[in-house]
Amino acid sequence: MAQGDRIRTFIHGFDEKLDGGIPVGQIVLLAGEPGTMKSTIAFNVIYQNALREGKAGTYISLEQSRDNLTRHLEQMSLSPHDVESKVSLVDLGAIRRNLDGKADRTWLEIFKMYASNLKRTLNFEILVVDSLPVLEVMARFENPREELFQLCEWMRDLEATTILISEMKPNSEDFGRHGEEYICDGIIHAKMERVDDANIQRRIRCVKMRGTNHSPNYFTLIFQNGIFQATRIIAE
C-alpha cells in the first residue's frame, strides 16, 4: 500500500507510528473510557483532513445533540463552521425523534439512509459514528455478532474510512462487547493512566491496524491549542 493511500490522524508523532496513518477504506475502532477525548480525536481527523487535504467527512452523533457537540468542538478550537463546506455533522437522535410517527423506519434503517444519502451528495471519504454501543442498543440486534458483521460489511461498501467510537468501562481490557475487535480492521485505544497521587495522563496506542507496520506502544497524548500530539511516555 502506497503512502498516499492513508488517512492521517493529524496527531503529531502518532501518524509516523502508523506508517503514515489509517489505510484508506478501513474500519477502525476508537475505544476508551470516559474522558479520553475520543469524540475530539475522531472529529480532529475529519476536521484536519477537510482543512488541510480537502477531504469530505461526515460525523454521525447518536449521543450528543448537534448544538452541544458544536459548542464542545468550538471550545477545543475545532469549530465545525471552519469546515462546513466539507463536513456534515448529523444529529441522528433528533432526526429519529422528528420521524417518530411519520415513518415506519428502524434506527438502523435511518442510520443507513442518512449515511447513504450523504455519501451520494457529499461523497465523504471519512465517516465517524459516535458511538457504536449506542447504535447497537438502538438497533436492537437479536444476533449482535452476526448483525454487527453485516453492518460493517455494509459500511465497507460506502468506500470510506470509518471510525467507530466505542465506550469502555474503566480498567476494562474489552474493546467491544460483540467481537468488534475481530470485525474491525484496526483498534486505537485511548486511556487514562494515573502516574502519581495527583496526576493522570491521557495515553494512546494502536492495538492493531491491518496492512500496517505500527508501534504497539502507548504514547502520552497531549492536546493544546487545538493540536494533538503523541510523545514518548513521560517518566513516571
- SS3 readout for 12-48: ECCHHHHCCCEECCCEEEEEECCCCCHHHHHHHHHHH
What's the average model confidence in pLDDT over 210-233?
A: 96
Rounded to the nearest integer, the mean pLDDT of the chain is 92
Question: Which of the listed ranges 56-60, 139-143, 173-177, 193-197 does the model predict with the highest average pLDDT?
Answer: 56-60
Residue 94 has a pLDDT of 85
Residue 1 has a pLDDT of 38
| CA gap 5, 138 in Å, rounded | 34
The answer to whether 55 and 122 have CB atoms below 8 angstroms apart is no
- pLDDT interval class at 3 (50, 70, 90): very low
- pLDDT interval class at 236 (50, 70, 90): low
In 3D, which of 132, 129, 112 has the Cα closest to residue 177? 132
Q: Look up cell 480492521; give the residue.
A: 185
Question: Which of the listed ranges 101-105, 192-196, 215-219 does the model predict with the highest average pLDDT?
Answer: 215-219
Whole-structure pTM value: 0.94
48 versus 194: the higher-pLDDT residue is: 48
| CA gap 57, 233 in Å, rounded | 31
Hey, which bits of 82-199 come out as E strands?
Answer: 87-91, 126-130, 161-167, 186-194
* Domains and their CATH numbers in the chain: 23-190 (3.40.50.300)
